Chains A and B, each alone.
Chain A
């Protein structure tokens, strides 16, 4: 049985005898170096831990500092984008309610056949 080092699983895997003629160490394709040890990526909020770039950095600690209480209600904390969304929602809701009351008033009028 011949073996090669699988860069994918980081373990020995079976190989054909022919692989002995192209030893891995000479080929740049498969890295035989151990990759940097990845500790079970911190899902704990520890800002001093190594940042593992898995779809971006952990921005939670920074957001935790940003969202501290300062009198501004939570739904407006981010400032302009929050305000715009709030105003749009409120406008559509209140406008819609008025439209609804008018529509219901009209619907309740008898239709003269």
Chain B
């Protein structure tokens, strides 16, 4: 049996990049079929194959790392670079929405009444639920740090407790935000205010859901003893993502909810 003479990871051939790319095709054309031809079939197929791909791809990564030991320090370094670069790309994604918001709000056109918020738009009070949301996410940043320190110290029970608190705070944020969406007196089609508000906060909400899901997976992995006190990159990646989501919210709160009201 040949053994490799280097510490890098030569991955087994995998079908998931193909199914992932094709599922992206199905999702995008599915959206077209839904918008223009009132048919949900393709979109549902796309979402299903996307979910199946993600599940199996990440399941395989866990098998390769935790069970086969391929995640040597140098491989882990590469994974860290990868996660950082991905988060940077997400920062740019949100930068676009913030650009759109500032473009429209710094010089409001006559059609809006020359003011921001535009005439007729009654924004949400930033000192009510949005402020609560801010405290919820900040608290979740504290609890996830507690979870990390517990993990580093080998304190299994506390790590699970702190991580579950973090997840519950994330869910609480999502529920609060959903109820706020019902409370707004404006919709996405109410001028550029509505567009920028719902696009920015909507994508943020989606990222909170993604982050909460990632944390939940970390929770189950911790239950199953996958993490050790000095090797738990999956958890670190989830924590970085979660902090990113928190920071985006802070920018959203200050710019759109507070300054923009």
Contacts and interface: CB of A to CB of B under 8 A. Distances in A.
Contacts of B33: 103, 107
Nearest to A45: B228
A89 B56 contact: yes
Contacts of A21: none
What is the predominant secondary structure among interface residues of chain A facing chain B?
helix
Contact of A88 (B11, B52, B227): B52
B68 interface: yes
Nearest to B26: A96
Interface string A22-41: 00000000000000000011
B83 to A, nearest CB: 21
A85 B164 CA distance: 30
Given A56-B223, A66-B67, A93-B49, 9 more contacts: A42-B154, A60-B67, A60-B226, A74-B12, A86-B56, A92-B49, A93-B22, A96-B23, A99-B42
A96 B23 CA distance: 8
Chain A: number of interface residues, binned into ranges: 35 or more
A74 B63 contact: yes
Given A89-B19, A92-B48, A93-B19, A74 B229 contact: no
Interface string B41-55: 110011011001100
Given A40-B156, A42-B154, A100-B29, A89 B52 contact: yes
Contacts, number: 122
Interface of B is mostly: helix
Contacts of A45: 225, 228
B38 to A, nearest CB: 12
Interface string B69-101: 100000000000000000000000000000000
B67 A44 contact: no
The 6 closest A-B pairs by CB, nearest first: A41-B156, A67-B67, A96-B45, A58-B225, A73-B12, A40-B154
A70 to B, nearest CB: 9
B226 A74 contact: no
